[in-house]
Amino acid sequence: MTDLRDQVVEDRGIIKKIQLVFPGYHGYRVNEDLRDADIILKDELYKKMLDVITNLKEGESSLVSSGKFAGLESIGALRSRIQTAAETVKHHGTGYSGISAPVRVDAKKISSLYDLDMKIFEQVQILQNLMNAFVQNCANGNIDQSKLQGINATLSAITNLNNSRETLLYGGV
């Protein structure tokens, strides 16, 4: 995936470019652009995680069609975990850096949040690949427990990365 921070800078309109000229607005504009890039990335992460859920539902349907009902409960629980992780990633804070912010969040921290979300993006790609293989097995009427364990481990990695966001933003305050 291309770096969205560069894309946001390239897409600045005339008003945003004028804001960069004024010392009081320059830092604010830079921080807002970084935050916008992170928001766009988080939206993309959310969509990809919803695609994983849709794929998992297809696997469930394949198992039901083939009369394999054992293990559907664990798949339902996994789907719920993925949905929760997706919502958490989408709605997690981006760090306010306005004029009177209670905790100052500078460009370096906002950029670090973007880098953290890129690590989550990489894990979501791994999750997608694991899910594709798992669903293929489901289409054959099998539940591969080792693939389920890999999916759960990747989902835990996503959750752990996302949970580190508050520490990154506020230093554990």
pLDDT in tens, 3-45: 887 777 777 777 777 777 788 777 778 888 888 888 889 999 9
Confidence of residue 152 (pLDDT cuts 50, 70, 90): very high
Q: Is the pLDDT of residue 97 over 60?
A: no
Q: Tell me, what's the pLDDT at 96?
A: 55
Tell me the mean pLDDT in the region 90-96.
69
Tell me the mean pLDDT in the region 105-110.
81
**Hunting for tokens 């988080």 — which residue is that?**
42
Q: Tell me, what's the pLDDT at 98?
A: 53
Structural contact between residues 46 and 85, judged by C-beta atoms closer than 8 angstroms: no
Q: Is the pLDDT of residue 68 over 90?
A: no
Q: What is d(CA 39, CA 45) in angstroms, rounded to the nearest whole number?
A: 10
* Residue 97: DSSP 8-state: -
Q: Tell me, what's the pLDDT at 72?
A: 85
Q: Tell me, what's the pLDDT at 82?
A: 95
How far does Cα 131 stand from its chain's mean position? Answer: 16
Q: What is d(CA 19, CA 128) in angstroms, rounded to the nearest whole number?
A: 41
* Residue 102: DSSP 8-state: S
Q: Tell me, what's the pLDDT at 21?
A: 77
Tell me the mean pLDDT in the region 81-89.
93
